[in-house]
């Protein structure tokens, strides 16, 4: 049976509150959704909470999933929206902890590349929340400007400007780090 058909069958079972099917869906997607939430909320415990809320919302709203995109893409959008909502609720409490950056590579044989990746991650952690979110959504999550404008509630032009400014600020931080 093809993977897509398996997913569709599991989703159909989830619509009927099949807990085994829900667990299977969770097991297939939780790592990706956790990493998505972590890149936005920037705290492992909070990312776990956000991810759990995203799954709950997805299972509650499964009837609204129309299949225009893959289930994974639909779930990722819910996770991103939940992450951004969490940030907005806790705007004054957000702490950028440089010791817990975005997901770092576990192992690499190329020490130079590992160092460069760590520097970019460290630089991203120094960005304001809206810049870090823009960079994450556009370059890491792969959302286009139209998707970003819907997720962030901004215009197309503002989405482009936000990504452009965030990218420029990131470049400046990296230059300063190298100096």
Question: CATH topology for 1-95?
Answer: Rna Polymerase Sigma Factor; Chain: A (1.10.1740)
Q: Which phi and psi angles does 106 have, rounded to 5°?
A: -75, -45
120-131, pLDDT tens digit by residue?
A: 888 888 888 889
Q: In this model, does residue 95 exceed pLDDT 50?
A: no
Res. 139 pLDDT band, cuts 50 70 90? confident
CATH no. for 102-179: 1.10.10.10
The per-residue pLDDT for 92 is 44
The per-residue pLDDT for 42 is 84
**How far is residue 150's CA from residue 52's CA, in Å, rounded to a whole number?**
22
Continuous H helices in the chain: 3-15, 19-41, 44-60, 71-89, 111-125, 129-135, 145-152, 156-178
The per-residue pLDDT for 1 is 58
DSSP code at position 105: P
């Amino acid at each position: 049976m093809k993977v897509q058909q398996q997913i569709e069958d599991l989703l159909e079972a989830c619509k009927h509150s099949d807990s085994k099917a829900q667990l299977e869906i969770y097991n297939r997607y939780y790592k990706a959704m956790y990493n998505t939430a972590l890149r936005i909320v920037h705290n492992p415990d909070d990312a776990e909470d956000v991810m759990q809320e995203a799954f709950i919302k997805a299972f509650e709203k499964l009837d609204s999933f129309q299949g225009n995109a893959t289930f994974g893409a639909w779930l990722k959008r819910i996770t991103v929206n939940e992450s951004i909502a969490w940030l907005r609720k806790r705007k004054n409490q957000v702490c950028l902890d440089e010791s817990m950056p975005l997901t770092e590579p576990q192992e690499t044989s190329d020490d130079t590349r590992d160092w460069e990746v760590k520097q970019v991650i460290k630089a991203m952690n120094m960005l304001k929340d809206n810049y870090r979110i823009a960079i994450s959504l556009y370059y890491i999550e792969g959302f286009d400007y139209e998707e970003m404008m819907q997720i962030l509630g901004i215009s197309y032009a503002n989405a482009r400007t936000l990504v452009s400014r965030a990218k420029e600020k990131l470049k400046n931080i990296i230059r300063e780090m190298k100096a």
